[in-house]
Structures are given as structure tokens and as C-alpha cells.
């Protein structure tokens, strides 16, 4: 301010008809406005305390959140207590976990949404028990009926009701199909011989809402072989840690990511906005995955490491293939075992497409989800073919999946060129994930009723379908070399 004053002496100000006091006041106003604009441009966000009060606190104390972290957690801990009652018959334990699962569904969805799922279970039980008794192809009958049921629910149920039911219905269908196929292959150590055991497996309180999927044999083993006291304490502590992670990702997806990359910041761009919105959607998936892990651990069903997702492998992916594997590990295992391996004889490309079609079907044949999943199938196939050829041609560790330490490649991952190529594929994967996450940005009431095809088409058209063009060029290059 003093430098600015030195540029004008009193005589010059008198000639302009400005008093020194008025000029000083003008300079103060100018600098205050300039500094304020600079602060707004570089901050572009409210104070973090205001963000916590106005956004994080309402999200954490919302009724839906409270039901998930109090009532459902209490039901899971009750199931753990019942599993430790060694004098109870296995059938009683199985029936109990099914009843607790129905209670969990009742607490999180309305009666009109719950009734179709219970009715569907009754039909599944009749099919499985009849097929097992008559030695028929149980897996075929269950799979066909599952497809028909999914289509029927999607067509006849209101979109908002089907959207609420979709997650539980997907896990339910996965469990039923796995039981039917495993019965045909005689792969079940414990055979579900009555409706009570199937009821406990399908409506298991720890997995009925968000998964994860696990085999009937694992469910039966965990139900009848409780862990030692020390292991149970560790399991409960791990469940509490997972619960903390899920709440963090809930706040991050709802509040923190928008606070870190606000719309009115000077450095914002439409691609940075797209990255932010895609990461917000992925973080909401981490919330669901970690709360699913927490429920399983707190209920006493410790499936080894109990990993549903791995945010590190998704946010810093070696490849899109790695992202797909770690997005939902139990579902990846289910799709690989019950879809991919059964159609692999038709060719790797056909098996990949069939797997993604099955995944789209399980998610409800929603255009938005189906478009993203089928695009992802095309992307991963193109990337896999290209990197396999490059790895063979240059004898280098640049395949889509990470090589074993004792692999036969001459150029290992520490080689400078190999590191550069893998980094470029990492950048490409982040680019594709940003593009694929764009349609999941909230569009009014569409997030409750399901997104329309126009929303997805409009979002991708705004970016000239650039990711699809890049994937097509990737596949063309893979075929050309």
C-alpha cells in the first residue's frame, strides 16, 4: 500500500481532485477485495469445520446410517452369540440366522419390497428339493428360473422398489444358483436337505443386505464350528475397524471429495470434475463393501481374510483387469467359477463377454450399469490382448496381471522401460475409470428410480465417447502387432 501511495504525491492528487484520505480508503478497499478474490480462487471451499457440521454430521447421523450401524450390527452380534451355543442343533441355528436376516431386511426396506423376495425363496426351495430328489439338473432349473424372476421383478415392480430390492435380490440369486450347480457337481460337503437350512443360507443376517456371497458349505462350517475365544475377539476388533473404514468412505463420498475439489475452484476442469464424481461413486462402493465385511466379521462368519474390495488396487490400478478383480472379490469368484469356466471352451473372448453379460443381468439389466459393465468387458479384453502380446514380444513383465517373482521374463518389473510401460497403462486405466464413472453422477431423482439410458448417453456424448474410441484403437493395435 505504501508503494502505491509513493507513486502519487499530494500535488498530483490535488490536480485530480482527490484528497489523501479518500485515496487511502480507496486503496484499502481495493486490496481487501483483491485478497478476498485470491483467497476464493485458491481455496474455493468452505472451512473444513463448516463442512463437518453442514455435511458430515447429517450424513453420519441420518436415520438410514444409524439403522445400518446400530440395529444391523446388533443383529449380527446376536447371531454370533447364538452360534456359540453349542447345545443348539444346527437346524435351529440356521433358522435363527434366517429370521434375523428377515428382520434386517424389514428394518431397511418396506413390506411391499420384502414380500416378493420371501415368495421367490419358497419357489426356489421347491425347485431345489424336487431336483435333488429326482436327480434332475438342479443348476439348469435354478438358473433359468432366476433369469425369469429377475426379468419379472424388473418389469412389474415400480422402478424405485426394484432399485431398493436389487442388491438383496442379486445376492439371493447368486446363492441359489451356486447351490443348484454345486448339487449337480456333488461339490457340497453338507447338502441342504430341508427348507430350514436353505432359509438360513439365503437370508443369512451377515450377507442378506450387501453380501458378500459365499458357498453353502462355508456357511454350514461357520455355523457349526465357532472359533476360539481369542480368535473371536480378534474378529470383533477387525469388524469394528472395517466399520470405521466404511463410515470414512461414506463421509468421503458424500462430503470430503466435493470439499477437496469444489466446483468454484480456479483449477477445476471438466475432466477433474469427472474424476471427482467418479471417485465419489467408487467411494460409495467402498462404503458398501466395508460394511459388508464388518457384518460378516461381527456375526462370527470369518471367511479367512474376508476381503470384499481393495480400494488401493482400484484407485492405483496396474490394469483394468486388476480393477475388475478387486472391485468385488467374492462376486468375481462367483462369475469366474459359475460362468467363465463353464463357457471358456467357446473361447476366451466369448467367455469374457458372457461373464459381463451375466454380471449385467445380475445387476438388473439397467442400461446405465449394463453399458458400463459391457464397456468394461470390452476394455479389459482389449487391454489383456495387447499386454499379452507385448509381454511375449519383448519378454517383459507388462501383462495385465502382476507376474510372479520367479516368472520367466527377461525384463523384470524393475527395468526402466517396463516401469514406464506399466505406468502408461496405469494412466490409461485411471482415464477409463474416470470416463466409466461419469454416468453415476446424481441426476435428480434418477439415483432413486434408476438412471435412464438418456442420462448415460448424454454424459458420454459430452465427452465424444473418447474412452470407447481409445479402447477400440487399443484392440486394433493389439491385432495389428
| Whether residue 159 sits in one domain with residue 94 | yes
Domain finish residue from 202, 225, 248: 225
152, 173 contact by CB (below 8 A): no
Q: What is the pLDDT of residues 193-225, one digit of tens each?
A: 677 888 889 899 999 999 899 888 888 888 877
Mean pLDDT is lowest, of 22-31, 229-238, 417-426, for 22-31
| Whether residue 132 sits in one domain with residue 196 | yes
Average pLDDT over residues 410-429: 92
In the chain, the largest separation of any two C-alpha atoms, in whole Å, equals 110
| Whether residue 11 sits in one domain with residue 143 | no
Provide the 3-class DSSP secondary structure of residue 146: helix
Domain finish residue from 188, 206, 225: 225
Give the integer Cα–Cα distance in Å for 20 and 256: 48
For residue 39, the model assigns a pLDDT of: 42
On whether residue 168 sits in a domain, the answer given is yes
Asked if the model's pLDDT at residue 29 lies above 60, the reply is no
* Residue tagged active-site, from 363, 415, 449, 468: 363
pTM of the model: 0.85
| Whether residue 100 sits in one domain with residue 34 | no
On whether residue 63 sits in a domain, the answer given is no
On whether residue 451 sits in a domain, the answer given is no
Q: What is the pLDDT of residues 129-150, one digit of tens each?
A: 777 666 667 778 888 888 888 8
On whether residue 68 sits in a domain, the answer given is no
> Annotated catalytic, 326?
no
| Whether residue 221 sits in one domain with residue 93 | yes
- Residue 37: pLDDT band (50, 70, 90) is very low
| Whether residue 133 sits in one domain with residue 14 | no
Could you tell me which residue, 380 or 442, shows the higher pLDDT?
Answer: 380
For residue 32, the model assigns a pLDDT of: 44
Asked if the model's pLDDT at residue 325 lies above 80, the reply is yes
Cis previous bond, 89, omega within 30: no
- The total of structural domains in the chain comes to 2
- Residue 344: pLDDT band (50, 70, 90) is confident
For residue 387, the model assigns a pLDDT of: 93
Geometric angle at alpha carbon 466, from 401 and 477, rounded to 5°: 50
Closest CA to 314 of 269, 345, 283: 283
Domain that holds residue 13: 2-43
Grid coordinates representing 466?
473418447
Average pLDDT over residues 20-27: 53
Mean pLDDT is lowest, of 23-32, 252-261, 423-432, for 23-32
Closest CA to 397 of 408, 382, 386: 408
| Whether residue 36 sits in one domain with residue 93 | no
| Whether residue 201 sits in one domain with residue 115 | yes
Asked if the model's pLDDT at residue 430 lies above 70, the reply is yes
| Whether residue 22 sits in one domain with residue 102 | no
For residue 157, the model assigns a pLDDT of: 81
On whether residue 277 sits in a domain, the answer given is no
Q: What is the pLDDT of residues 69-93, one digit of tens each?
A: 999 999 999 999 998 888 888 888 8
| Whether residue 125 sits in one domain with residue 26 | no
Asked if the model's pLDDT at residue 259 lies above 50, the reply is yes
Asked if the model's pLDDT at residue 380 lies above 60, the reply is yes
| Whether residue 221 sits in one domain with residue 100 | yes
| Whether residue 198 sits in one domain with residue 140 | yes
374, 360 contact by CB (below 8 A): yes
161, 112 contact by CB (below 8 A): yes
Give the integer Cα–Cα distance in Å for 318 and 150: 34
- Residue 319: pLDDT band (50, 70, 90) is very high
On whether residue 261 sits in a domain, the answer given is no
Asked if the model's pLDDT at residue 279 lies above 60, the reply is yes
For residue 352, the model assigns a pLDDT of: 83
Mean pLDDT is lowest, of 58-67, 243-252, 296-305, 412-421, for 296-305
For residue 314, the Cα-to-chain-centroid distance in whole angstroms is 10
- Residue 328: pLDDT band (50, 70, 90) is very high
On whether residue 236 sits in a domain, the answer given is no
Average pLDDT along the chain: 82
Closest CA to 168 of 115, 238, 241: 115
For residue 309, the model assigns a pLDDT of: 92
On whether residue 230 sits in a domain, the answer given is no
Grid coordinates representing 246?
466404511
Domain finish residue from 196, 225, 254: 225
**Got the DSSP string for 377-443?**
HHHHHHHHHHHHHHHHHHTBS-SSSPPPTT-S-SB-TTSHHHHHHHHHHHHHHHHHHHHHHGGGS--
Amino acid at each position: 500500500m505504501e508503494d502505491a501511495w509513493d507513486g502519487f504525491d499530494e500535488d498530483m492528487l490535488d490536480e485530480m481532485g482527490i484528497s489523501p484520505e479518500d485515496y487511502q480508503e480507496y486503496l484499502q478497499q481495493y486490496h481487501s477485495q483483491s485478497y478476498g478474490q485470491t483467497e476464493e480462487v485458491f481455496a474455493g471451499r468452505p472451512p473444513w469445520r463448516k463442512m463437518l457440521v453442514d455435511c458430515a454430521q447429517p450424513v453420519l447421523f441420518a436415520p438410514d446410517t444409524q439403522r445400518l450401524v446400530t440395529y444391523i450390527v446388533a443383529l449380527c452380534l446376536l447371531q454370533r452369540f447364538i452360534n456359540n451355543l453349542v447345545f443348539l442343533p444346527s437346524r435351529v441355528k440356521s433358522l435363527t440366522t434366517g429370521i434375523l436376516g428377515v428382520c434386517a431386511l424389514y428394518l431397511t426396506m418396506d413390506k411391499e419390497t420384502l414380500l416378493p423376495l420371501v415368495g421367490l425363496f419358497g419357489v426356489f426351495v421347491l425347485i431345489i428339493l424336487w431336483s435333488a430328489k429326482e436327480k434332475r439338473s438342479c443348476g439348469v432349473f435354478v438358473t433359468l428360473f432366476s433369469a425369469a424372476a429377475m426379468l419379472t421383478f424388473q418389469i412389474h415392480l415400480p422402478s424405485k422398489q426394484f432399485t431398493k430390492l436389487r442388491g438383496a435380490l442379486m445376492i439371493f440369486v447368486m446363492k441359489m444358483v451356486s447351490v443348484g450347480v454345486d448339487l449337480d457337481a456333488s461339490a457340497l460337503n453338507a447338502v441342504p436337505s430341508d427348507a430350514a437350512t436353505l432359509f438360513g443360507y439365503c437370508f443369512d443376517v451377515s450377507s442378506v443386505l450387501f453380501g458378500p456371497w459365499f458357498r453353502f458349505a462355508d456357511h454350514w462350517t461357520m455355523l457349526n464350528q465357532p472359533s476360539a475365544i481369542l480368535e473371536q475377539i480378534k474378529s470383533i476388533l477387525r469388524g469394528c475397524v472395517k466399520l470405521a473404514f466404511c463410515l470414512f468412505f461414506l463421509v468421503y463420498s458424500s462430503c470430503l471429495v466435493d470439499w477437496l475439489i469444489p466446483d468454484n475452484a480456479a483449477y477445476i476442469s471438466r475432466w477433474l470434475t469427472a474424476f471427482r464424481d467418479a471417485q465419489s461413486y467408487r467411494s460409495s462402493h467402498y462404503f458398501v463393501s466395508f460394511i459388508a465385511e464388518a457384518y460378516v466379521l461381527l456375526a462370527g462368519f470369518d471367511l479367512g481374510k474376508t476381503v470384499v474390495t481393495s480400494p488401493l488396487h482400484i484407485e492405483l490400478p496396474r490394469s483394468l483387469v486388476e480393477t475388475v478383480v478387486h472391485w468385488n472379490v467374492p462376486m468375481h469368484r462367483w462369475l469366474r467359477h459359475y460362468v467363465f469356466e463353464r463357457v471358456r471352451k467357446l473361447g476366451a473372448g466369448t467367455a469374457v463377454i458372457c461373464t459381463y453379460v451375466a454380471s449385467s443381468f445380475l445387476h438388473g439389466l439397467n442400461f446405465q450399469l449394463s453399458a458400463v459393465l459391457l464397456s468394461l468387458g470390452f476394455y479389459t479384453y482389449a487391454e489383456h490382448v495387447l499386454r499379452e502380446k507385448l509381454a511375449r514380444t519383448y519378454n517383459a513383465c507388462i501383462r495385465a496381471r502382476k507376474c510372479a517373482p520367479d516368472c520367466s521374463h527377461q525384463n523384470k518389473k524393475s527395468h526402466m522401460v517396463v516401469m514406464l510401460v506399466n505406468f502408461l497403462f496405469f494412466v490409461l486405466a485411471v482415464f477409463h475409470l474416470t470416463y466409466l464413472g461419469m454416468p453415476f453422477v446424481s441426476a435428480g431423482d434418477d439415483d432413486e428410480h434408476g438412471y435412464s439410458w438418456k442420462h448415460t448417453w448424454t454424459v458420454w456424448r459430452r465427452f465424444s465417447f473418447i474412452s470407447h474410441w481409445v479402447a477400440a484403437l487399443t484392440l486394433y493395435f493389439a491385432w495389428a502387432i
